[in-house]
Amino acid sequence: MTPIPQHIHRGEREVVLTWDDNHEGTFPARQLRLACQCAHCVDEMTGKPLLDPAAVPQDVAARSIGLVGNYAIRIDWSDGHATGIYTYELLAALCPCDRCKAERQGGRAEE
């Protein structure tokens, strides 16, 4: 079952999601911007990335975050991009916390 964030915080250079088990993922803004899966950033037919990472400023920031139904968020980025939808499933899969990194690698994070 896909987790649902209980709290979403837009920081200066990060987006922080707190999931229902008080698990917190702090996503660096640029990393999240580069992970956009919209048709402007990824070819819909081939899945080939279209976004040139060099075109995304190092200091990109989330200007605003809105909910999309009960399954995703949409972020209005400071570089003018605002068409991407980040599903909770994608965000959970990309979670940069030590626990999630360890789970993706088949291990356990140190407590």
Residue 111 lies in a domain: no
- Domain containing 12 equals 5-102
Residue 73 lies in a domain: yes
CATH number for the domain spanning 14: value is: 3.30.2020.30
| pLDDT of amino acid 111 | 46
Q: Which two tokens stand for residue 15?
A: 């987006």
d(CA 17, CA 10): 9
Place of tokens 């996503």: 27
Q: What pTM, to 2 d.p., does this model score?
A: 0.88
Classify 92 as helix, strand or coil: helix
Give pLDDT tens digits along the chain (111 positions). 778 899 999 999 999 999 877 789 999 999 999 999 999 999 999 999 999 999 999 999 999 999 999 999 999 999 999 999 999 999 999 999 888 888 888 865 554
Report DSSP state, residue 107.
Answer: S
Residue 109 lies in a domain: no
| pLDDT of amino acid 106 | 82
Residue 44 lies in a domain: yes
For the chain, how many structural domains are there in total?
A: 1
| pLDDT of amino acid 26 | 96
Residue 108 lies in a domain: no
| pLDDT of amino acid 6 | 93
d(CA 99, CA 24): 10
